[in-house]
């Protein structure tokens, strides 16, 4: 009887040890997860884009799927240093020209996981001006462009998509009021988008003269990616664009300047995408601008979640 008790104790003891070892091994699955992945220097960051087309039935504009794709192609050239005209960069700036390492593509699924072309078309007589308040007094709810129930289109989640709105920015005299605008990182998520007039979008007609290479969108997405105009605060040589390798310049440049053009004791980098020259006169980002943009997607950056959701 005693031997049987001892055998039973031995069996229980080994079962206990086995259980302890088993639980110890299982604990390896409960260790804290590895740190979130960070961006490697040569990593290509890919951003899905949703195009919200809001076309006025009273005065419709032309914006084909092919024209929209032509703009995506331009972005993937300009942000990857694949645009052929970057070779026109003056010698003094050539070593600064950067491949920003960002690519864009039309979204393939909507926020609910349903397949999409990435192009959403609706009709409404509201204009692109309804997404911006120059007075600074309107509540966000009055930015009609970004609300379906007010004639616009609800924005898709900014932590998953870049939202681009194509809407008319023609003034009451039938001229282009301004070509486009963008909201910078950290803005209200209900309006975190880029807004562009169809006549400066893509490379297929109809297009405005001097705005026919898709560079308006390259420029405005630069703002969405936290870049400032290279002329900083217009009229000041002291307040630049917070990027070390872009020379301070006193004013914006327009049209088609000839290099060298100087201000603030140095030559202006007017060929930078963040000045305001004609499309065929802008063709480069700098290494400093690249670093500023990519910092958005690193730990603590304002567009970090967009990176993680599309990793």
In 3D, which of 289, 296, 282 has the Cα closest to residue 245? 289
Q: How many residues does the chain have?
A: 311
Domains in the chain: ranges and CATH: 45-229+287-309 (3.40.390.10)
Map tokens 């206990």 to a residue.
16
What residues are annotated to the active site? 220
- pLDDT at residue 174 in the model: 65
Map tokens 């936290």 to a residue.
226
User: Which residues, other chains included, contact 218 with Cβ-Cβ below 8 Å and sequence gap of 6+?
Assistant: 74, 75, 78, 79, 273, 282
How is residue 135 annotated by DSSP? Answer: S
* Least confident span in 4-18, 95-109, 245-259, 294-308: 4-18
pLDDT tens sequence across 214-251? 999 999 999 999 999 999 887 789 888 999 999 999 99
Half-sphere exposure for 292 (CA within 13 Å, toward CB): 20
Q: Is the pLDDT of residue 155 over 80?
A: yes
Mean of the per-residue pLDDT values for the chain? Answer: 89
pTM of the model: 0.87
pLDDT tens sequence across 42-66? 899 999 999 999 999 999 999 999 9
């Amino acid at each position: 009887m005693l031997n049987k008790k001892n055998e039973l104790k031995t069996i229980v003891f080994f079962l206990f040890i086995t259980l302890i070892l088993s639980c110890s091994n299982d604990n390896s699955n409960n260790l804290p997860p590895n740190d979130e992945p960070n961006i490697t220097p040569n990593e290509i960051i890919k951003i899905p884009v949703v195009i919200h087309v809001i076309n006025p039935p009273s005065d419709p504009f032309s914006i084909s799927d092919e024209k929209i794709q032509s703009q995506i192609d331009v972005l993937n050239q300009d942000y990857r240093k694949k645009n052929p005209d970057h070779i026109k960069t003056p010698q003094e700036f050539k070593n600064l020209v950067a491949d920003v390492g960002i690519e864009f593509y039309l979204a393939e699924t909507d926020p609910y996981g349903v397949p999409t072309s990435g192009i959403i078309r609706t009709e409404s007589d509201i204009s692109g001006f309804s997404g911006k308040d120059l007075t600074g007094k309107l509540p966000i709810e009055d930015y009609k462009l970004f609300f379906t129930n007010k004639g616009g289109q609800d924005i898709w989640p900014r932590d998953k998509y870049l939202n681009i709105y194509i809407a008319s920015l023609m003034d009451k005299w039938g001229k282009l009021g301004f070509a486009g605008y963008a909201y910078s990182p950290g803005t209200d998520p209900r309006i975190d988008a880029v807004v562009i007039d169809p006549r400066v979008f893509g490379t297929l007609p109809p297009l405005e003269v001097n705005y026919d290479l898709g560079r308006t969108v390259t420029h405005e997405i630069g703002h969405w990616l936290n870049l400032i105009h290279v002329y900083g605060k217009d009229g000041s040589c002291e307040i630049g664009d917070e990027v070390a390798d872009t020379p301070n310049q006193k004013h914006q440049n327009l049209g088609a300047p000839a290099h060298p053009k100087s201000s603030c004791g140095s030559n202006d980098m007017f060929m930078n995408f963040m000045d305001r020259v004609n499309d065929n006169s802008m063709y480069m980002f700098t290494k400093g601008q690249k670093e500023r943009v990519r910092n958005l997607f690193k730990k603590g950056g304002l567009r970090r979640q967009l990176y993680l959701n599309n990793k």
